[in-house]
Amino acid sequence: METQGMPLLGDKFPELKVLTTRGTMILPNDMAGKWFVLFSHPADFTPVCTTEFVAFQNLYKDFRALNCELIGMSVDQVFSHIKWEEWIKENLDVEIEFPIIADTGAVANRLGLIHPGKDSNTVRAVFIVDDKGTIRIILYYPQELGRNMQEILRAVKGMQYSDKNKCAMPADWPNNGIIQDHVIVPPPKSVDGANERKAKAKAGEFECFDWWFCHRKG
């Protein structure tokens, strides 16, 4: 099977028919009107992946409050996913509520998720897809490093806030070391825009270090 490259930021998420622990789904159609986070993991019944699934489940309500669903995935059969879910429930007292894709390799191939040099295992990839089916963020981790789910949640919040308020988010938002919880006003694209920005700063509409670096309360 020829491996295809990963889709890029701004691309539409490719249409995929997938078998999951919650039945067959067609992505992104079945998520129409919702954001979703699709995250792949190397294999069931592995320690790092188990900690990740528990961490995602512990934040599931927070993701759903943002109109965002979670979807796991690995190249394991569905009965393996189900048994692993049972093990997590019985041993860690956490019930996994989101679907997990049982991939034959077709999904991993289409999304470019096979780890080079690691046989047929999938990497720890994260696709954040908006409510229009557009890929907004892609994160890519090696097998050895577990993900930070709070960062993934922050990324969804930040992109939704940026879309709604036409602004950019600083490093570590909403706890930036320079402008705290403020957001960044997109810089002007012309001389007239720069002059207008200076006037608005003098009028108190923005706080600015310079015309190209203005910020405001979120």
Q: Which residues are catalytic?
A: 49
Contact 73, 101 (CB under 8 A): yes
SS (H, E, C) 4-46: CCCCCCCCECCCEEEEEECEEEEECHHHCCCEEEEEECCCCCC
According to DSSP, the residues that pair with 180 across neighbouring strands are 176
List CB contacts of 87: < 8 A, sequence separation 6 or more: 45
Amino acid at 162: S
Local structure of residue 134 (DSSP, 8 states)? B
Sign of CA dihedral 65, 52, 103, 13: positive
Burial class of residue 133 (count of CB atoms within 10 Å of its CB; 0-12, 13-18, 19+) = buried
Contact 73, 103 (CB under 8 A): yes
Contact 94, 60 (CB under 8 A): no
